[in-house]
Amino acid sequence: MRTECKDTRASHRKKRIGIGGNLMLMEGGIFPGYGKSYVNDDYVQAVASAGGVPMILPVTDEEDIVEAQIEAVDGLVISGGWDVDPLLWGEEPHEKLGSTLPVRDTFDRLLIAAARRRGLPILGICRRALSFGAAALLIFYAFTGFEAIAEAAEDMDDPKRNIPRAIVVVMLLVSAFYFLIMTVSIGVLGPDLAATKTPIATAAAVFLGTGGGLLVTAGTLVSIGGINLASSFLTPRVIVAIADDHMLPLIFSRYNRFHTPCVAILFATLVGILIALSGSFTTLAAISVVSRFAQYVPTCLAILVLRRRDPEHPSTLPVPFGPVIPVIAVLVSLWLLVQADLHKILFGLGGLLIAVPFYFLMRKQYLQR
């Protein structure tokens, strides 16, 4: 009977919810420089109002203490606070990054690991490591490149009809492909997804073994190599085409005895090396996205202008809903552009600012001839 009563009381016991603490460094008062462990009162009140017993877990980087803290609770709340140090995943600090606290980063990682080993529910509150806008700007990079389809128009049958449809189909297929990749990665890795730099390979290693992870890594290298190989042919070709249109000096369209655009190749190689050495992949991806808005925004505006200028002109792929889609596209592009810091904007649009006066200069010289 005593055992049954004890079990009944245990089953009706309120759940003890651990709230990961924060650390405040005292700047004044009678204890300047001392650290103070605390949580904001709204965390405590929220847990209590939900029927739980709030338990504050002080900040520590001792793994055995964290294990003991987790053993005493039935659930975990990771509170907000200091920004997360981006060096943890090998990225450069952003200019808008706030104050960081390494011991807090270590504490949260130990808490999450211990809670997951015990199968406890976890609620995490944002610590502002990366804003939604900055993340959206970086994610947008994965969908760039579709405009390159038009560069092969001269090799297509009926490009006026096929290119618009090809771009739409490619975007839909790529979106579906990325959605499936993210679904699998999140489903397999869960919270560990944020702790890996190679999520697809890591996920493959979980359900396919080490060989599966190596296979995905090899496939990634082949894919990147294919893109680089294609770019090594495409980029010099674009430079030659611009020079042939008298928007660059004619020396860029010079060929050697093997009929290879040697000057364009050397120029593209030199610029590519300088860009690659100028920053991390994340920084370069964001700069690439910013620079592409110089193409996307005028293209969207051109739809509005051309429709008004020549409304009767036939189109192989009419854009539905009148001006709605172009206007939304311009607004979203401008919003994403605002999410970039000044460094990325200057580097991303700097080439355009240099090229515009250069273009008018070359055009003036060509017309004078």
Answer yes or no: is pLDDT of 345 > 70: yes
Residue 64 lies inside a defined structural domain of this protein: yes
Burial readout 81-101 (b: 16 or more C-beta within 10 A, e: otherwise)? bbbbbbeeeebeebeeeeebb
Whether residue 312 contacts residue 269, with contact meaning beta carbons closer than 8 Å, is answered with no
CATH code of the domain containing 69: 3.40.50.880
pTM: 0.56
Residue 16 lies in a domain: yes
Show the tokens assigned to 80.
């907000």
| CA 70 – CA 119 distance, rounded (Å) | 11
Give 56 or 273, the one with higher predicted confidence: 56
Residue 123 counted as domain residue: yes
How many Å from the N-terminal Cα to the C-terminal Cα in the chain?
Answer: 107
Helix (H) or strand (E) holding 37: strand 35-38
Residue 190 inside a domain? The answer is no
pLDDT in tens, 217-239: 898 889 888 878 878 888 888 88
pLDDT at 246 > cutoff 90: no
Which domain does 60 fall in, by range?
Answer: 2-129
Residue 154 pLDDT > 80, yes or no? no
How far is C-alpha 368 from the chain's CA centre?
A: 47
Average pLDDT of span 108-120? 91
Q: Give residue 74's pLDDT.
A: 94
In a domain, 155, yes or no: no
As a whole number, mean pLDDT of residues 177-201 equals 81
- Short-list 49, 55, 84, 85, CA closest to 69: 55
Q: Which residue has tokens 């389809």? A: 149
**pLDDT score for 2:** 47
Q: Domain count for the chain, please give it.
A: 1
- Residues 32, 24: Cα–Cα separation, whole Å: 11
> Residue 29 falls within a domain, yes or no?
yes
List Cβ neighbours of 248 (8 Å cut-off, separation of 6 or more).
239, 242, 358, 362
Whether 191 maps to a domain, the answer reads: no
256 inside domain: no
CA-derived radius of gyration, the chain: 28
Closest by CA position to 267, among listed 248, 286, 283:
248
